[in-house]
Chains A and B, each alone.
Chain A
Amino acid sequence: MYQQALKEGALTIYGSMDADQFAVLQNAFSSQYPGITVNYVSLNPPQAYTRITSELQAQNYSADLMLSSTPTLYTMELQGYIQKYVSPEASAFPSIALDPLNGTTPMMELSIGWWYDSNLVSSSQVPTTFAGLSAAQYKGQIELNDPTTGSTYTQYWAALAGILGNSTVLNFLQTLETNTSPTVISAFASCANDVASGTHAFCLGGFMQDAAPDIQGGAALKYLPMPNLPIMVETSNLGIIAHAKDPAAAKLFVDFASSPIGQLTIGNINVRTPVSRTVNATWSEVNVINHFAPGATLAYFPSVSIAQNSQAWGALFKSMGY
């Protein structure tokens, strides 16, 4: 495959991982497979979706690979924008992390937790129930990502509803909206960072990889443990775009990223979690949880049915005032 990929010579990836972090993996790939230029464009999943679907419609096939969290990628798979390819290396991954549609390959795990600023709320006063957190005293102090977009955060709340019960989650969101008017942001990754800065006291749904560097940097950001509320884990997968110009290079990259070397490389990026449980990486799932959210339980999302109904979930959250 390498020889075929060499003939192609290049590879374009649209991805939601920060470019500086992706560069570590890119450099490791280039060391092992010299002669293939990797062009990485950092875009959040909705932006990547719009661009890729427009390019396909125009038959201008720029992107070969999409690296995205599964909520967006499953939607694209269901709509036929992804050509099915699962790396043989993925057979070593835990089955719960695998793509149920069997069309993409998981590359890393993304954990979403709730966070608070310990300068604004002392540990002893941290609310421990949904009712406590949605009380009017926290008006203007809560931030969350837009749950109406159909992407990760729509499917996050939908998945939570499946775990905690529809009424629990919907009542909480409605009460939260009524009592606290939470700030809803559209910029990905800002939620945990904003709470680390002190803009808001609580972030309901911030990525671990965004929160962890802030904590390491001395921010008063802490994991908010709520009874029965798991840390929700989604995977970030690699999907080969339909009509990719460089399919061999794309497959080679997918194979590399899911190989033990690729997984170890990912797991040593601060703070990125590999899917593989067999590599001895600095930021394996266990290490990350023990370090930043001790005692937290984990639950994987999304399911295919949630991805299929993401628009309806988004509309529901919108009707609640979000």
Chain B
Amino acid sequence: MRKLPLPSLPALILGIGVGALGIFIVYPIIFTLFGSFWSSRPGFPGHFTWNNYLSAFGQGGVAGLVVNTILFSLGSSVMGIAVGLLLSIVTVRTNTPFRRSLFYLPFFPLAFPVFIANLAWVYLFSQRVGLVNIALGDLGLSTSTFNIYSWPGMIWAGGMALVPISYITIAAALRNMDSSLEDASRMSGAGIGSTLRNVTVPLAIPAILSAFILDFTIAAGVFETPTMIGIPARISVFLSSIYYNVDSIVPPNYAIASADSSLILVIALILVFAYNRSLRSSRRYEVVSGKGYSSGVLPLGRWRFVSLAGILAYLVVGLFLPFVTMVMLSLVPVWLPYDLFGHMGLGNFQYVFSNTSGMVPTIVNSAISSVFAATIITFVSLSLVFVARRTKVRGRGLLEALGMLPIAIPALVIGFGLLWAFLTIGREIYGTLAVMVIALSLAFIPQGMRSLSGGVIQVQMELQEASSVFGAGTMATMRRIFLPILRPSLVVTWLYVFIAAFTSVAPVVLLSTAHTGLFAVFLWSLWSSGEIPQFAAGGMVLFAIVWSLILALVFVQRRLERTRVYRPEVRS
């Protein structure tokens, strides 16, 4: 009797992967869309209707939300790109003093979760009581020079959060750029400014465009800044409208929230499509070749000290001032800016660490959920990237596209979709940590894939082919070739996803229950209940945890790099 051939391992991974990803990723999307046409609240009997969209376009003011979302995302992206580009040029393409040491510093604000940074901006730039305004008042200027609760304030907060992301993308591109064109420009008599304007920046345009679309997508999907700063400024965007309609009013208006979620989903999918197109077109600008590659820098002369001052100014404004503000806020019972030192104490820390605050159990829940999410994402991402980039199985592109799909879905919408899903089908696991793990895994799987894909691509095909020649199967190749080489990437990916999951509010804020409260949601509740100094104290605890993890990440990465072995043992 003839045996049917067994499917190869990559084909098996592909099949299982498409199935599992399809279920988990498409599940909340379908329920978000379903909810937008359902006449009742999640899980309740109802019928299909257009009324949710009519409500959204009527009382929900969709037109205003579209305009505001675009303005906020555009403004934040432009600011993020402008600052990120300047920082990239200074640290990568110039001879600014200490540039090698300074290169990593612009990443540091990433360790400030957005909702904590927002609070710092409020207490720096509030009219009359913000520390910057008070300092300006001491200089004879108005104490209302800056107003955080305004369009510029909201864009400032949104833009500052995007600077490190823009910097990562643009600095990487500038680092790989051949400097011979800049040298030619200089030798032709062009000055520094002219060379930057006519050569360096134009060559970086694909990276800038990619960073811009990525920033725009992220800004359009953020709900914390529009809620914390936009709502007091009377500026509503899609995400703050969704949060407002689900978690700020009694009873919740699921109709408008669902219609808004579906609309932002469509917009975000279009943006991601544009992002992918921009990545493809960027190849036309490739200027790094195998021969004659040179990575020199532009000599700034005396201006190099100005550029050094610029980067230090960014670090002071983007990192030092918010941090100091949060420390001060965490030490006072109430913000009395003209008498801060008279009331300082550790009462807020005593409170958050007491049994009654309930903080410690949420840290434990967050740790458990994040460990599971990081492990699942690392494993799944490796499998997906391996199949997509290292096999020729048909349909592998679909697998990668499915894995990257959540990047188009704002994290709050993922949570909202899961709320719909679990209250309709799958009620058994609602109220368990499994829900949190699913939400976090879905929200961060694209980050896992992005983080690992570089490492997988860098493993030379010859190693894989040699393994195959010696008769090793896919599993053996994976175990003996890929895993040892990718160990640093795997560890870094795991820690990166863990930190992202640990500090994230958006995917889980609508899913939290008494027994599944996570740390970031606990902090968010303190803010929404007006317990601001206690929120600041909790924020400092989160900050300490994140920084410990980042230090661990750096330590582990260095240790692994020292012990990395590129000569895998291949047994005959």
| A60→B529 contact, CB < 8 A | no
The 8 Å CB contact of A219, one of B334, B423, B514, is: B334
| A50→B246 contact, CB < 8 A | yes
The 8 Å CB contact of A62, one of B129, B422, B513, is: B513
Closest B residue to A72 by CB, please name it.
B250
| B514→A14 contact, CB < 8 A | yes
Q: What's the minimum C-beta distance from B427 to chain A, rounded to whole angstroms?
A: 4
Within 8 A of B (CB), among A26-70: 26, 39-47, 49-51, 53-55, 57-60, 62-63
Q: Is A79 an interface residue (CB 8 A)?
A: yes
Within 8 A of B (CB), among A288-322: 310-311, 314-315, 318
Please measure, in the bound complex, the distance between the C-alpha atom of A258 and the C-alpha atom of B461, giving whole angstroms: 75
| B251→A79 contact, CB < 8 A | yes
Please measure, in the bound complex, the distance between the C-alpha atom of A20 and the C-alpha atom of B538, giving whole angstroms: 14
| A47→B357 contact, CB < 8 A | no
Please measure, in the bound complex, the distance between the C-alpha atom of A281 and the C-alpha atom of B528, giving whole angstroms: 30
Binds A, one of B168-176, B335-343, B449-457: B335-343
If A193-B334, A218-B336 touch, does A59 touch B127 (CB 8 Å cutoff)? no
| B514→A62 contact, CB < 8 A | yes
| B530→A26 contact, CB < 8 A | no
Please measure, in the bound complex, the distance between the C-alpha atom of A149 and the C-alpha atom of B427, giving whole angstroms: 28
Q: Is B128 an interface residue (CB 8 A)?
A: yes
Total B residues in contact with A, Cβ cutoff 8 Å: 59
If A50-B510, A189-B531, A214-B334 touch, does A151 touch B250 (CB 8 Å cutoff)? yes
Q: What's the minimum C-beta distance from B536 to chain A, rounded to whole angstroms?
A: 13
Q: Is B558 an interface residue (CB 8 A)?
A: no
Within 8 A of B (CB), among A94-140: 120, 140
Most buried by B among A41, A51, A71, A197: A197
If A75-B250, A150-B251 touch, does A58 touch B427 (CB 8 Å cutoff)? yes
Q: What's the minimum C-beta distance from B340 to chain A, rounded to whole angstroms?
A: 10
Q: Is A210 an interface residue (CB 8 A)?
A: yes
Please measure, in the bound complex, the distance between the C-alpha atom of A151 and the C-alpha atom of B351, giving whole angstroms: 28
Closest A residue to B227 by CB, please name it.
A186
Q: Is B98 an interface residue (CB 8 A)?
A: no
| B336→A219 contact, CB < 8 A | yes
Q: What's the minimum C-beta distance from A191 to chain B, rounded to whole angstroms?
A: 8
| A54→B423 contact, CB < 8 A | yes
Chain B residues in 8 Å Cβ range of A265: none
Q: What's the minimum C-beta distance from B151 to chain A, rounded to whole angstroms?
A: 13
Q: Is A1 an interface residue (CB 8 A)?
A: no
| B354→A63 contact, CB < 8 A | no
Closest A residue to B252 by CB, please name it.
A50
| B430→A217 contact, CB < 8 A | no
Chain A residues in 8 Å Cβ range of B547: none
| B423→A57 contact, CB < 8 A | yes
If A16-B529, A44-B529 touch, does A199 touch B126 (CB 8 Å cutoff)? yes
Q: Is B25 an interface residue (CB 8 A)?
A: no
| B513→A210 contact, CB < 8 A | no
| B249→A213 contact, CB < 8 A | no
Binds B, one of A157-165, A177-185, A222-230, A232-240: A177-185
Q: Interface code A193-205, partner B: CB below 8 Å = 1, 0 otherwise?
A: 1001111000000
| A186→B427 contact, CB < 8 A | no
Please measure, in the bound complex, the distance between the C-alpha atom of A198 and the C-alpha atom of B357, giving whole angstroms: 28
Q: Is B109 an interface residue (CB 8 A)?
A: no
Closest B residue to A314 by CB, please name it.
B249
Chain B residues in 8 Å Cβ range of A45: 250
Chain A residues in 8 Å Cβ range of B527: 187
Closest A residue to B533 by CB, please name it.
A193
Total A residues in contact with B, Cβ cutoff 8 Å: 66
Chain A residues in 8 Å Cβ range of B335: 193, 197
Closest B residue to A68 by CB, please name it.
B250
Chain B residues in 8 Å Cβ range of A12: 514-515
Q: Helix, strand, loop or mixed for chain A's interface?
A: mixed
| B525→A49 contact, CB < 8 A | no
Closest A residue to B348 by CB, please name it.
A20
Chain B residues in 8 Å Cβ range of A197: 129, 334-337
| A187→B529 contact, CB < 8 A | yes
Chain B residues in 8 Å Cβ range of A20: 351, 354, 356-357
Chain B residues in 8 Å Cβ range of A39: 358, 514
| A50→B247 contact, CB < 8 A | yes
Q: Is B19 an interface residue (CB 8 A)?
A: no
Q: Is B417 an interface residue (CB 8 A)?
A: no
If A12-B514, A186-B227 touch, does A44 touch B423 (CB 8 Å cutoff)? no
| A189→B529 contact, CB < 8 A | yes
Q: Is B294 an interface residue (CB 8 A)?
A: no
Chain B residues in 8 Å Cβ range of A44: 525, 528-529
Closest A residue to B356 by CB, please name it.
A23
Q: Is A22 an interface residue (CB 8 A)?
A: yes
Chain A residues in 8 Å Cβ range of B336: 196-198, 217-219
Chain A residues in 8 Å Cβ range of B515: 12, 62
Q: Is A77 an interface residue (CB 8 A)?
A: no
| A42→B529 contact, CB < 8 A | yes
Q: Is B101 an interface residue (CB 8 A)?
A: no
Q: Is A188 an interface residue (CB 8 A)?
A: yes
Please measure, in the bound complex, the distance between the C-alpha atom of A219 and the C-alpha atom of B41, giving whole angstroms: 45
Please measure, in the bound complex, the distance between the C-alpha atom of A62 and the C-alpha atom of B517, giving whole angstroms: 12
| A213→B334 contact, CB < 8 A | yes
Chain B residues in 8 Å Cβ range of A57: 41-44, 423, 427
| A55→B525 contact, CB < 8 A | no
The 8 Å CB contact of B356, one of A19, A148, A186, is: A19
Q: Is B59 an interface residue (CB 8 A)?
A: yes
If A186-B231, A196-B336 touch, does A47 touch B528 (CB 8 Å cutoff)? yes
Please measure, in the bound complex, the distance between the C-alpha atom of A151 and the C-alpha atom of B233, giving whole angstroms: 21
Within 8 A of A (CB), among B319-366: 333-339, 342-343, 351, 354-358
| B250→A150 contact, CB < 8 A | yes
Please measure, in the bound complex, the distance between the C-alpha atom of A34 and the C-alpha atom of B532, giving whole angstroms: 33
Q: Is B244 an interface residue (CB 8 A)?
A: yes
Chain A residues in 8 Å Cβ range of B431: 55, 58, 60, 62
| B528→A186 contact, CB < 8 A | yes
Q: What's the minimum C-beta distance from A158 to chain B, rounded to whole angstroms?
A: 13
Q: Is B419 an interface residue (CB 8 A)?
A: yes
Q: Is A146 an interface residue (CB 8 A)?
A: yes
| A189→B530 contact, CB < 8 A | yes
Closest 9 CB pairs of A and B: A189-B530, A60-B431, A23-B356, A58-B430, A62-B514, A190-B530, A58-B427, A149-B249, A57-B43
List 6 A-B pairs, Cβ < 8 Å.
A47-B248, A57-B43, A58-B431, A198-B338, A217-B334, A218-B343
- Having A54-B42, A146-B231, A149-B250, one finds 18 other A-B pairs with CB under 8 Å, namely A42-B526, A50-B246, A51-B513, A51-B514, A57-B43, A58-B43, A58-B427, A60-B431, A62-B514, A62-B515, A75-B250, A184-B231, A186-B227, A186-B528, A188-B528, A188-B530, A189-B529, A198-B129
